[in-house]
């Protein structure tokens, strides 16, 4: 049985999925970007700069795939770290997509938008890069770095030629 806490985010994601199909027309193309931070990483060796996910992190990655299962992704991006790739992998598998690697230091928002116009895109990043990227697309400083204990933020940007909207949900499994 689904808990009410999970139903609201799933309904909202379903709404955005339906919206992305219904709003396309000759003069307006809807692009939807979904941003998440990688799931829980292994912190047992503090010198390891590229750790895998923990068991809890692997479960969260599967949970993200479940939460996002009704979104037909056209592209999935991840930084070139084990934890981000492992977070993106279940969703990529569900969508039969290859994960595209991006460099967090050189992400070109305009280029990403041009290459993905009209698409649904998942971008997996880090506690500091994810909000910065969302802000870059918004052209504002709306979001701050994610607290290190928070792996459940889902930022959803809907972009047309004339408008951009943003939504932040916190989606945590029980």
User: Tens digit of pLDDT for each residue in 21-61?
Assistant: 444 444 579 999 999 999 999 999 999 999 999 999 999 99
pLDDT tops 70 at residue 79? yes
pLDDT tops 90 at residue 119? yes
Per the document, the length of the chain is: 174
Q: Provide the whole-model pTM.
A: 0.85
Domain extent for 121: 4-170
For 127-155, what is the mean pLDDT? 96
Q: Which residues pair with 164 in a beta bridge?
A: 159
Q: What is the pLDDT of residue 173?
A: 80
C-alpha span between 131 and 99 (Å, rounded): 20
Q: How many domains, in total, are found in the chain?
A: 1
Which CATH number covers residue 148? Answer: 3.40.50.1240
Q: What is the pLDDT of residue 86?
A: 98
- Rounded to the nearest 5°, which phi and psi values hold at 83? -65, -35
58-71 pLDDT, tens digit per residue, is 999 999 999 999 99
Burial 71-80 (b: 16+ CB within 10 A, else e): bebebbbbbe
- Rounded to the nearest 5°, which phi and psi values hold at 63? -65, -40
Report the candidate in 119, 112, 130 with the shortest Cα–Cα distance to residue 95.
119
CB neighbour list of residue 28: distance below 8 Å, 6 or more residues apart? 160, 161, 162
């Amino acid at each position: 049985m689904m808990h009410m806490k999970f139903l609201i985010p799933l309904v909202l994601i379903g709404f955005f999925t339906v919206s992305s199909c219904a709003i396309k027309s000759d003069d307006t193309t809807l692009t939807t970007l979904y941003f998440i931070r990688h799931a829980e990483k292994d912190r047992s060796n503090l010198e390891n700069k590229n750790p895998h996910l923990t068991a809890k992190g692997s479960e969260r990655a599967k949970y993200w795939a479940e939460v996002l299962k009704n979104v037909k992704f056209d592209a999935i991006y991840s930084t070139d770290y084990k934890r981000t790739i492992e977070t993106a992998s279940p969703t990529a598998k569900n969508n039969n997509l290859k994960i595209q690697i991006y460099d967090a230091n050189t992400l070109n928002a305009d280029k990403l938008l041009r290459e993905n116009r009209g698409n649904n895109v998942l971008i997996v990043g880090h506690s500091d890069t994810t909000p910065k990227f969302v802000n870059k697309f918004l052209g504002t400083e709306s979001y701050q770095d994610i607290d290190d204990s928070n792996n459940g933020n889902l930022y959803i940007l809907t972009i047309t030629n004339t408008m951009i909207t943003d939504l932040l949900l916190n989606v945590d499994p029980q």
